[in-house]
């Protein structure tokens, strides 16, 4: 016999784990030195969130992007988003893993929405301003930039979960009877 149902008590561990992955993705995106953008032709130009480098082989001429106000804004938004994400992760561990505190779940959802908004703004400002000021030819956005979007998408998904979980308090505590989606007799 096969039964398929949703095990809500597992959400108490899985959702904070997803936030931990979002933190890791954000750290990778922020700390990446190999660049968020690289040119396609000769691999002679790349830019990270912090600097841009031109050259070939082992001779690179790197300049800081922090002289541009848009780059400072992108760095600030990404770092502030990471800090709020870490706070949301700590609160989620307290609310779900230690004791079940349902009243904190909407607060975590709101924090994650703020993180998503900040990071979406940063991840849109970067390519727009890069194309306006530095763009010369054809460029690809690399995996590091993708990790920034991955963290943002995880924050959006987790914010929806944290906003919806208070409606399933009995299921989270294990007091409700399991409702099976599918049961074969």
Tell whether 72 is covered by a domain. yes
Rounded average pLDDT per 10-residue block, the chain, 185 residues: 57 86 94 81 76 80 88 94 96 84 88 96 90 75 90 94 76 63 62
Angle between helices 143-164 and 11-31 (to 10 degrees): 150
Residue 81 backbone phi and psi in degrees, to 5 = -60, -40
* b/e code 35-58 from CB counts within 10 Å (16+ = b): bbbbbeeeeebbbbbbbbbbeeee
Tell whether 90 is covered by a domain. yes
What is the structure's pLDDT at 184? 64
Contact yes or no for 36/142 (Cβ under 8 A):
yes
Dist. CA 39–CA 41, nearest whole Å: 6
- Count of the separate structural domains present in the chain: 1
Tell whether 183 is covered by a domain. no
Tell whether 169 is covered by a domain. yes
Which CATH number does the domain housing residue 90 bear? Answer: 1.20.140.150
Tell whether 2 is covered by a domain. no
Domain that holds residue 103: 9-176
User: Which residues on adjacent β-strands are paired with residue 139?
Assistant: 39
Tell whether 1 is covered by a domain. no
Q: What is the pTM of this model?
A: 0.84
Tell whether 63 is covered by a domain. yes
């Amino acid at each position: 016999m096969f039964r398929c149902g949703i095990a809500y008590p597992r959400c108490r561990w899985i959702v904070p784990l997803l936030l931990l992955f979002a933190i890791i993705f954000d750290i990778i995106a922020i700390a990446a030195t190999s660049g968020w953008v690289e040119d396609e032709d000769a691999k002679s130009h790349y830019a990270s969130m912090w600097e841009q480098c031109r050259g070939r082989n082992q001779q690179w001429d790197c300049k800081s992007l922090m002289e541009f106000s848009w780059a400072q804004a992108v760095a600030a938004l990404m770092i502030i988003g990471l800090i709020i994400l870490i706070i949301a992760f700590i609160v989620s561990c307290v609310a779900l893993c230690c004791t079940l505190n349902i009243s904190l779940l909407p607060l975590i959802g709101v924090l994650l929405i703020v993180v998503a908004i900040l990071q979406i703004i940063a991840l849109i400002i970067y390519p727009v301003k890069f194309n306006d000021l530095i763009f010369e030819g054809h460029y690809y956005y690399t995996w590091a930039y993708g990790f920034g979007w991955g963290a943002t998408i995880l924050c959006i998904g987790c914010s929806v979960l944290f906003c919806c979980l208070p409606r399933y308090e009995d299921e989270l505590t294990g007091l409700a009877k399991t409702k099976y989606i599918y049961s074969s007799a």
